[in-house]
Structure 1
Amino acid sequence: MSIPTTELVIFNTTEAIRNDSSILRPAFEIVSKSDGVQMPAYVGTQIENPAKGYVFLNWDSLAHHQAMMASPTYASLLEALKPAYGGWSKMYHVIFNAHPIAFQQPVTEVLLLTLKNPSHRTEVFEILTKISDSTKQMLVFGPTLEDNNVIIAVGGWQSVEAHWEMVANPEPKAALERLYTLANKDHLFHSTLTHYTGK
């Protein structure tokens, strides 16, 4: 099975979704009927700051998601999202280096990087590949389809503490220190994701 195109939406949450993420179930039921979507969908609020939330959806291709956004059902989807979305949101698309299994872990790390200089791309990808391989692809990454200088990485962990313990070890610590000299760390937070299969 080919690696999907993953849609990531980071959004300001409402109090309603902070209290009950299942308010998004009607939205995911609409999405689940779309051609080319790979359910389940994943949603969670940020552990560090629940005023921010995440939605992850896998698609067969970017074209499938674009077709859904151009379809008549998109207006109903936007309406179904309103109770959860508190205004600001930002959408990205990425094809990871391996299947994103991190979504099924107790804690999912969400990291956004921007290359300081496009000439650093190869070294940044080498560092991220090494980390990905060392976690047996529990951490995956890829450039966004919107801007290939922006890189998204997601990692799966047993807990937030387990993540910080791992990166405190000498080898990953050195690799990450080098990484952050080559790319700006724009976003590094964690979430516990709930999955919805839709109908």
Structure 2
Amino acid sequence: MKFTLLLFPLLALALRSQPRSRTGVTEHVTLNLRPGISLETTNAGAQDWIFQIVGKWSGFQDGHWGLELGDAPTAVYWFFNWDSVASHQEFTRSPEYPATIEKVESLASSFSAPHVPLQPFPPREVFASPVVSWVTFNLTGVANSTATTNWQATANDFLGNLTRVSGYRAHSSGWEVEDSRVFSVLVGWESAESLGAYVISRSFAEGFRRLVSGVAWEHRVLRVAGYVPKL
């Protein structure tokens, strides 16, 4: 689910239409950076300003941010832990919100920001790792609720088996609030090398093939770059 920045005002409207759940949620933000933007050097101040505003909000718990793995990242990821979707909704109605969005517009050409009630929550063990893989599975094509339940059982088995994989640290997962057909998984790794060794293994190939049969999926790998504290 991606939005051009011309549609930023619709984010607040979309959030207000969501159920006012009191379950803790992690906002998964992907920013597709404008050319020449670097959030570790020349544009770090703009990102820090955003984190200062968000960090002071009463419903915000904490968060982490990371960069697309590689020499010249074109995407940055923010993972904000909120008390509830309602807490974030309240922030979108605050006087600080328009200026925050304006600052984001200076950094990114487009973004997505689904909310996921992850388990375990908050996913701090995942982000204690230097490398995180983020996989989303879209079950739009799955026939019925029984098939979805069976898929969830397969996913649980796959994730449970990760504890036996060298280099695995922790994982957290859940269904998106905005689109209940999308299942999101965050997995922490000791290194990019340990993740790479796993994805070329036979056990990964066999287990993952069962997960993605008839299911659309997307995979991102990020380098954890920092912590976003509650202020």
Q: TM-score, normalised by structure 2?
A: 0.76
Tell me how far 1:18 sits from its aligned partner.
4.7
Identify unmatched segments of 5+ residues in structure 1. none
Q: Helix, strand or coil for the counterpart of 1:113?
A: strand
RMSD: 2.2
Paired residues for 1:115-194 under 5 Å: 115=139, 116-119=141-144, 120-136=147-163, 138-185=170-217, 187-193=218-224, 194=226
Q: Report if the CA contact (8 A) 2:134-2:186 is conserved.
A: yes
- Structure of greater Rg: 2
Residue type of the alignment partner of 2:202: P
Paired-residue identity, %: 23
Tell me how far 1:159 sits from its aligned partner.
1.7
Q: Report if the CA contact (8 A) 2:23-2:85 is conserved.
A: no
Tell me how far 1:75 sits from its aligned partner.
1.2
Residue type of the alignment partner of 2:37: A
Alpha-carbon distance in 2 for matches of 1:174, 1:132: 13
Closer/same/farther in 2, CA of residues 198 and 96 from structure 1, 3 Å limit: closer
Alpha-carbon distance in 2 for matches of 1:46, 1:170: 26
Q: Helix, strand or coil for the counterpart of 2:213?
A: helix
Tell me how far 1:97 sits from its aligned partner.
2.4
Closer/same/farther in 2, CA of residues 6 and 171 from structure 1, 3 Å limit: same
Residue type of the alignment partner of 1:13: L
Alignment partner of 1:10 is 2:30: yes
Closer/same/farther in 2, CA of residues 3 and 171 from structure 1, 3 Å limit: farther
Deviates more, 1:25-34 or 1:130-139: 130-139
Alpha-carbon distance in 2 for matches of 1:121, 1:105: 30
Alpha-carbon distance in 2 for matches of 1:3, 1:162: 33
2:101 maps to what in 1?
78
Q: Report if the CA contact (8 A) 2:61-2:230 is conserved.
A: no
Closer/same/farther in 2, CA of residues 122 and 38 from structure 1, 3 Å limit: same
Q: Report if the CA contact (8 A) 1:4-1:61 is conserved.
A: yes
1:109 maps to what in 2?
133
Q: Helix, strand or coil for the counterpart of 1:105?
A: coil
Q: When the two structures are aligned, how many residues end up with a matched partner?
A: 195
Deviations 1:34-78 (A, max 9, x none): 121111x22222115711221110001100011111111111211
Alpha-carbon distance in 2 for matches of 1:25, 1:198: 13
Higher strand share: 1
Alpha-carbon distance in 2 for matches of 1:160, 1:88: 27
Tell me how far 1:180 sits from its aligned partner.
0.9
Q: Helix, strand or coil for the counterpart of 1:54?
A: strand
Deviations 1:79-115 (A, max 9, x none): 3323422x11111000112132212210011112111
